[in-house]
Amino acid sequence: MSDISTRAREILQRVGAGDPFTGDGALHARSPIDGSTIGRLTPHSAGDVEAAVGAAHEAFLQWRSVPAPVRGQMVRELGELLREHKDDLGALVSIEAGKITSEGLGEVQEMIDICDLAVGLSRQLHGLTIATERPGHRMMEQWHPLGVVAVISAFNFPVAVWSWNAALALVCGDAVVWKPSEKTPLTAIACHAIAREAARRAGAPEGVVQLVLGEREVGEALVDDARVPLVSATGSTRMGKEVAPRVAARLGRSLLELGGNNAAIVAPSADLDLTVRGIVFSAVGTAGQRCTSLRRVIVHESLADDLVQRLTAAYETLPIGSPLEASTLVGPLVDEAAADAFVAAVEQARADGGTVVTGGERVDAVEGGTYVRPAIVEMPEQTEVVRTETFAPLLYVLRYDTLEEAIALHNGVAQGLSSSIFTLDVREAETFLSAVGSDCGIANVNIGPSGAEIGGAFGGEKETGGGRESGSDAWRAYMRRATNTVNYSTELPLAQGVEFL
């Protein structure tokens, strides 16, 4: 057993999640750091999913009647346990997903933050009082728990995205069934153990949080179950196009967070020192494996050469290696398929007339790992490969003359998640944020597209799916609305002046 797998095993035992090597081995957990096996698990069957949904539904029937502030106590316990185990969980994220240490810890902090938000929200699940045309009547709306919420998460945020959904769903009165990525099962097992302990401490019904492990069969069983009114799925656009019609066929709801092809416009007035820092983190953080990672830089012709030179200098000093080393800024891609896709995209960009400025090749940083050198490619136009999301640190540079041209390039992709502009011109900034500017769900000024806070609603438009998670009023997706009219008079007037009898 490698040192990495031993460390993962010890972490799981400390959080009360058991031994990851007790399964039949049909589902292997591997670390992208060195390719070592860190767990051999038994995947669930479709029958197991049915049982998990049934247990969650029974728990929901009790949980929905618990006052929301009391439900918030479970999420408070969850947040406290996450604080207690932050270092261990952060290390496990690094081991299993390949994130550098600060990003692994940051992901756990994001879980803590959403718990804090959800606890406060548990006392603010408010409806409206609405003016009525009928005298002696009152009209209002209420929000009620929805039911069992399925959460299907991706490898790149193996725990945070689950927490965005689970923390809100739980205070809303729902039960949660979680299917994590088959590439990151151990972090899910650890978080599930902690969530179960939080439920026990808060006196929540047994079964209010459920975990199912496996690949496509498990996900399909969860998506097709009519007892699941909401499926929240994070992943590729291809996956979303399969999930959405299956859920719609049974008239369920989908909350989709899909691909991004995020761009930054760099205007003539941009502060280039700030711009370079913003671009490098957004493009290279998490080895380019965020849905909000920066894929395209659209830079004004007047400063394109200077910007490319600065970016190249920054890229060529980036330390690549094990994410467990404090000095590392670029860890591994999740697997061999991701590395192959990266190299293939670079080659296609070159074939399309692009110039590879730096990077684009495999790197033997750690034996057995999947490492690449982040690439910058200047493109003469926005070709098909540029319009296609490559989940890796591959940054395309395009040039523009007018802001209208830049916005057209920016919006000229199928995805619509996150976006940014670097400018000191208020007119350019406000135009970018206006209805004729960015068509994305997130639009930033003088920061990159990556690194959203939990206070704002997170999600995108077009082929990104249209869902919203985390802050603002995203909680409404996890509840059902009821409009109520109360007649406290002795008369029975009808709306719209209708007379009957």
User: How many distinct structural domains can be found in the chain?
Assistant: 2
Predicted confidence at residue 430, as pLDDT, reads 98
For residues 445 and 423, is the Cβ–Cβ distance under 8 A?
A: yes
Q: What is the DSSP string of 265-322?
A: EE-TT--HHHHHHHHHHHHHGGGG-STT-EEEEEEEGGGHHHHHHHHHHHHTT--BS-
For residues 239 and 220, is the Cβ–Cβ distance under 8 A?
A: no
Q: Examine the domain organization and report whether 274 and 400 are in the same domain.
A: yes
Contacts of 80 (CB under 8 A, 6+ apart): none
Q: Examine the domain organization and report whether 478 and 369 are in the same domain.
A: no
Q: Examine the domain organization and report whether 35 and 159 are in the same domain.
A: yes
Least Cα distance to 234 among 339, 153, 318, 325 occurs for 153
Bridge pairing between strands 262-266 and 294-300: parallel
Q: Examine the domain organization and report whether 469 and 441 are in the same domain.
A: no
The per-residue pLDDT string of the chain (501 residues; one tens digit each, 9 = 90 and over) reads: 589 999 999 999 999 999 999 888 899 999 999 999 999 999 999 999 999 999 999 999 999 999 999 999 999 999 999 999 999 999 999 999 999 999 999 999 999 999 999 999 999 999 999 999 999 999 999 999 999 999 999 999 999 999 999 999 999 999 999 999 999 999 999 999 999 999 999 999 999 999 999 999 999 999 999 999 999 999 999 999 999 999 999 999 999 999 999 999 999 999 999 999 999 999 999 999 999 999 999 999 999 999 999 999 999 999 999 999 999 999 999 999 999 999 999 999 999 999 999 999 999 999 999 999 999 999 999 999 999 999 999 999 999 999 999 999 999 999 999 999 999 999 999 999 999 999 999 999 999 999 889 999 999 999 999 999 999 999 999 999 999 999 999 999 999 999 987
Q: Examine the domain organization and report whether 341 and 441 are in the same domain.
A: yes
* Residue 96 resides in a domain: yes
* Residue 231 resides in a domain: yes
- Indicate if the alpha-carbon torsion angle 446, 449, 455, 460 is positive or negative: positive
Q: Examine the domain organization and report whether 162 and 306 are in the same domain.
A: no
Which two three-digit tokens encode residue 199?
Answer: 């439920």
Cα 295 versus chain centre, distance: 17
CATH of the domain at 295: 3.40.309.10
Cα 466 versus chain centre, distance: 13
* Residue 501 resides in a domain: no
In 364-430, beta strands by DSSP E: 371-372, 375-378, 394-400, 415-416, 418-422
* Residue 67 resides in a domain: yes
Q: Examine the domain organization and report whether 346 and 233 are in the same domain.
A: no
Catalytic center residues: 257
Rounded to whole angstroms, the Cα distance separating 473 from 470 reads: 8
Q: Examine the domain organization and report whether 216 and 121 are in the same domain.
A: yes
Rounded to whole angstroms, the Cα distance separating 97 from 431 reads: 38
Which two three-digit tokens encode residue 97?
Answer: 């997903």
For residues 395 and 297, is the Cβ–Cβ distance under 8 A?
A: yes
* Residue 495 resides in a domain: no
Q: Examine the domain organization and report whether 423 and 392 are in the same domain.
A: yes
Q: Is 456 helix (H, G, I), strand (E, B) or coil?
A: coil
Q: Is 356 helix (H, G, I), strand (E, B) or coil?
A: strand
Which two three-digit tokens encode residue 292?
Answer: 């909000």
For residues 167 and 117, is the Cβ–Cβ distance under 8 A?
A: yes
Please list, residue by residue across 209-233, b when 16 or more beta carbons sit within 10 angstroms of its beta carbon and e when fewer do. bbbbbbeeebbbbbbbbeebbbbbb
Predicted confidence at residue 32, as pLDDT, reads 98
Q: Examine the domain organization and report whether 254 and 387 are in the same domain.
A: no
* Residue 377 resides in a domain: yes
* Residue 121 resides in a domain: yes
Predicted confidence at residue 201, as pLDDT, reads 98
In angstroms, the Cα distances linking 258 to 2, 237, 243, 251 are 35, 5, 11, 20
| Domain enclosing residue 352, as ranges | 262-445
* Residue 497 resides in a domain: no
Bridge pairing between strands 27-30 and 37-41: antiparallel
Residue in this structure with the two tokens 């670079």, named with its chain if needed: 346
For residues 173 and 67, is the Cβ–Cβ distance under 8 A?
A: no
Whole-angstrom distance between the N-terminal and C-terminal Cα of the chain?
Answer: 83
Q: What is the DSSP string of 14-79?
A: HTT---TT-S-SSEEEE-TTT--EEEEE-PPPHHHHHHHHHHHHHHHHHHTTS-HHHHHHHHHHHH
Contacts of 404 (CB under 8 A, 6+ apart): none
Predicted confidence at residue 234, as pLDDT, reads 97
Q: Examine the domain organization and report whether 303 and 166 are in the same domain.
A: no
Q: Examine the domain organization and report whether 253 and 272 are in the same domain.
A: no
Predicted confidence at residue 185, as pLDDT, reads 98
Predicted confidence at residue 22, as pLDDT, reads 86
Residue in this structure with the two tokens 């650890």, named with its chain if needed: 190
